[in-house]
Amino acid sequence: MNSSKDKTRILFVCLGNICRSPSAETIFKAIAEKAKIQVEVDSAGTSAWHEGELADSRMRKTAAARGYKITSISRALRGKDFDDFDLIIAMDDNNYDDIRKTARSVEDEGKVYRMRDFFVHKDFDHIPDPYYGGEQGFNMVIDLLEDASEGLVAFLKNRKTI
């Protein structure tokens, strides 16, 4: 963690930054606030395909029905993100590999995690991309992100006590 700040800075990353990572940003922030964990969160994509766009309208609609308001604007991952964030969390193995290729040092690589690393009750090996699926896929993403966000809160609480 960045010792010069009270807040842990976390960047969530998926491919296009229009479904999974903006949802992770929004859901984790809500769960962290309830747990009284001081964080700053953002999201990015390993591609710039949707740079400047709002999150996918289906993702925003599904999230809104579950009490979350996704407002982030898509952007691409940048090398500077390794300076600005304490943790960079990938939604799947392809994202994880792409992020690690962007890392400039072993220290940068040490900041990279997979969202699946924080599952508490779910047994998935990644957060699936709902882009080409139906409504059920968007709901599944929210379910998985809620579970992993609870685990990430626990991880941060344990990390601060060490």
pLDDT of 162 over the 90 cut:
no
Domain that includes residue 141, residue range: 8-161
Catalytic residue among 56, 86, 129, 147: 129
Query: What integer pLDDT is reported at residue 29 of this predicted model?
Result: 98
Tell me whether residue 129 is one of the annotated catalytic residues: yes
**CATH code of residue 93:** 3.40.50.2300
Tell me whether residue 60 is one of the annotated catalytic residues: no
Tell me if 63 is assigned to some domain.
yes
Total domains in the fold of the chain: 1
- What is d(CA 76, CA 48) in angstroms, rounded to the nearest whole number? 5
Tell me if 88 is assigned to some domain.
yes
Query: What integer pLDDT is reported at residue 80 of this predicted model?
Result: 96
Tell me if 1 is assigned to some domain.
no
Tell me if 95 is assigned to some domain.
yes
Tell me whether residue 58 is one of the annotated catalytic residues: no
Tell me if 127 is assigned to some domain.
yes
Tell me if 84 is assigned to some domain.
yes
Q: Tens of pLDDT along 118-145?
A: 999 999 999 999 998 888 999 999 999 9
Tell me if 3 is assigned to some domain.
no
Tell me if 2 is assigned to some domain.
no
3 pLDDT band, cuts 50/70/90, is very low
Catalytic residue among 20, 60, 114, 116: 20
Catalytic residue among 14, 60, 114, 116: 14
